[in-house]
Structure 1
Amino acid sequence: MIPKLDDYQKRWGIESDPIIKPGLDSILSALERLGNPQKQLRVIHIAGTNGKGSTAAFLHSILSEHGLKTASFTSPWVVDVHDQIKLDGRNITSEEMDEVFKRMKDAGISGMLTEFELLTAAAFLAFEEFQPDIVLLEAGMGGRYDSTNVITPLVSIITSIGLEHTNFLGETIKDIAWHKGGIIKVGVPVITGKLPSEAAKVIEEIAAELKSDVMRFEEEFSISRSKGSESFHFDNKSIGNLQRTLLGSHQASNMALAITTAILVLDKEFSINKTLQGVKTAVNPGRFERITDCVYMDGAHNVDSAKALTKLVVDKFGETPIHFVVGMLKDKDIEGFLLELTGVAASFTFVDFSHARAASPEELLQKCEFSRKSVKNKNKVTLDLLSSEEGVTIITGSLYLLTELREIIHGNLVNNQNS
C-alpha cells in the first residue's frame, strides 16, 4: 500500500485492486472517461532496471535551469504518495490531490484500476491542470504493459536492463528487454544506457521495426556542443569530470542520458552553461544520501546496483570499515546482492520493514555467507547509528526500507536535539 493513498481513496470512495495486473486496457478505459488528459502532455518516458529516478532528477534540474516548468511521476515513494507526483520540483499538495480524486470520483472509475494504475491516472490529471512544459514519466514495472505506457513521448529513455520482476517480465534478459523496449514508439528517438549485448539486440530490433533512431551510451559515447562563446566536449572517459552532487560512475551514465535528451528536446534553446549548472545541482533522495557524517542511505536493491554501490564505496571511503544495514524484498536475488557487498563489508546487520514482500531478517541472515552478521530491531539499529563512531554505515537493499528508517532516524535526531 502506498502511504496516504488510501486516505484519498477512503475520502472519495474510490476502490482499487491491490494485485498487480500488467496490461493497458483498464487504464485506457479509465483515461477515456477522464477525457484523456495524457494526450495533451509533452512527455519524456523513462524505463530501466536501475537509474530511472536519477536520470529524471538530472533532467528536471537541467530543464529547470533552462526556465522550463517540469512535472514528474516516479516510484516508489520516498515519504508518501505526495512525493511521487511532483510539480516543478515540489510535491503535489493535499488540496491538489483532493481535486484530482474528485474528478476521478465524478468520472466513475472506482474499481476499474489497480493501485498503481489509479495513481498513474491521478498524475495525468494533476499534470493536465498544472500545464508543465515537460513531463518526466517513469515506468513503474517493465514498460510495454506498464500503466504509464499510454503516451507518445518526445524521447524514450532506457537506462539499464537487468534481471528484475522475473515473475512478471520473464526470466531472461531478452524477455525483460522486450518489455522495456515496449516504450519505444514509431519515429520517436530512444536513448539507452550501456546494455547487455542480448538486450541491446532486442532494443535495436524493436527500434528498427518502428523506425526509431537509437543513441547508446557505449565505449564510443561522446557529446560535443558549441553555441556562441559556449562549448564543451565529453565522452565516457571525461564524463566523470563534470561536477555533480549525485556520486558514482553509474550516475555519470544517467547524467549522459539526461544531457543527450536535453539536447534533443531543447534543440536551439540548449545552453551548455545552464546544463552544467543543472548537472551540478541535481539531487535524488535515497541515492547515496548523506544522513550524518557516518551514515548514508542508498536504494541499491539488485546485483547491478550493488556492484555500483561497491565501486562508489571504494572510491569514496577507501579502507574505512563499512557496515551495511540491509532489508530486502524476498523476490530479489538476495544471495547475489549480498555477495557483491561482501568484498567491502566489515559487517552486516539485517532488519525488518513493513512491506508485504519483505524478506525476514532471519532469512537474510541465513543467505549471507559473511562471518560478521546479526539481526536487530529497526528501532534499535537507528539509535545505534546515531551514536556510532566506528567507520561508515550504509543502509541499503530497498527504497521501501529507506523510507521507513529515514522517518525513524529523523525522529530520533529531533528527540536527541530536544533532550
Structure 2
Amino acid sequence: MYLVYADEQGRVYDHPEAFAVARNGEMLTEILEEELIPLPEGATLVSLPDTVPVGMDPESGEMRRLDGFTAVGALLPQGFTRLLLPGYVKTDKQKKFPLFGYTAVVWKDGAFWAAARQSDDPFQWNPLNFPMEELQHRVEQTLSQFPENRILRHLSHCALEYECLTASNNFFHRWEGSLPVSYTCNAGCYGCISEQPEESGFPSPQTRMNFKPTEDELVEVMLHHLKTPESIISFGQGCEGEPSTMAGIIVPAMRRVRQTTDMGLININTNAGLTDHIKGIVDAGLDLMRVSIISAIDEHYNAYYRPRGYTLENVARSAEYAASKGVYTSINYLCFPGVFDREEEMEAMINFIRRTGIRLIQLRNLNIDPESYLEMIPKAQGEVFGMKQAIEIYQQELPDVVIGSFTHVPPKELQNRKNMG
C-alpha cells in the first residue's frame, strides 16, 4: 500500500516506492491490511493545509518526509468510521485544520483505499438520494405552504446552502427531519460547528439559528413531518445550541402534537446536562434520545464540552431517567483514533453505558484539528488498542448494545413505547 500525496495545485499522486503510514493519536504507525476498505462512494479526497506527507522507506522501514508536497486525507460519507488519521507533520504548528474528520488514505491494487470500517448502511444518507433540482422544487413548495414559519425558512438555507441531509428530509417528507429550536447553549464545545470564539483559530463551517421560535412554529413543523410510522423529527441540530434549554416551548408543543397524532417518532439530540428539563421532555412523550458524548472521564469530558452549570453526572442521570421511562436511548460517541481506543477511556465508557441503559452506540468521526485536541485532553494512561480492536472489545463487552452510526429502533420497542404513552 503506497503513499498518497498532493502537489501545490492539488493534484493527487501515488508514490511509486514509499509505503503509506498513518497516525493513531500522536503516533505514526503502519497500516494493517485489515484496517483498509475500498474508498467508499461519496468520499472526498482533500489536501491537509500546511503539512508535509510522511511515508515509509520499504527497505529500511524508516519514516521519511516528502518535502515540497502536501499530505492527503479522505472525508468519509455518513455510516463509515475512521480508524486512522493521515500520516503527516505540520509545517506551521500555529495553523489549524478546518473542522473535518480526516482519514488515512492509500493507493493499493490500482485504487484508493481508506483506513475505515463500514458501521452502518449509508443508503438513507447517500447524497445521491437528495437530487438538488428536486430539493429546490420541494423547498419552494413547502415555503409557499408555510410562508410565516421561520424554522422552515432557516432549514431551507441549511438544505440548499450547506446540503444538510437531515434538513433536506423535512422537504422530501421522509426519514429523520430537523427541528432546530435553540440559539443558546449550556456548553462551549471546543469543536462546535455553529459557534466559535474569534480566538479559536478556526471558523465555524455553518451559522447558528438566531431567533427563538414560537410554540406554533414547532407544532407546524412536527405535524408536517410526522406522517408515517417511520418518520422522525429531531430537536438538536448542528445549526443550533442545546435544545433542552428551550424545554418551555418544546414540552407544550410535543403535548399538542401527541393530542393530534401518534404517528412517527420524536427524538432529541442533546448533551443531557439539564436533567430537570430532560425529564419534562421525556414525560411529554419523547420516543428517542441521542446523547452527545466524547468521554466518560470527567477531566476529558469537561475539557472538550466546557459545560456551564452541569456535570457528567447530570448527563448520566438524564440518560438513566429516559431509559427508565421507555425512551430508546443512544449515544452520539465522538471518536478520535488514539483516544477512543485508550484502555481507560473504554473502561469508563463501558461502565457508563451499563449504568445508564444505553441501547445504541452511534459512532461519529470527531471533526477537529488533531494537535489542538490532543493538547487539550489528558494523556493516555494505559494501553492504546487501535480503533478496530477497540470496537471489537465493545462488541464483546456489550453484546446487547447495537454499534452503528444511525438510529436503530426495533418496531416492537416502538409499539411498547406507544402503549406506555
| TM-score by shorter chain over 0.5 | no
TM-score by length of 2: 0.28
Q: Compare the two structures and name the one with the higher helix fraction.
A: 1
Q: Please identify which structure carries the higher strand content.
A: 2
Larger relative contact order (CA 8 Å, sep ≥ 6): 1
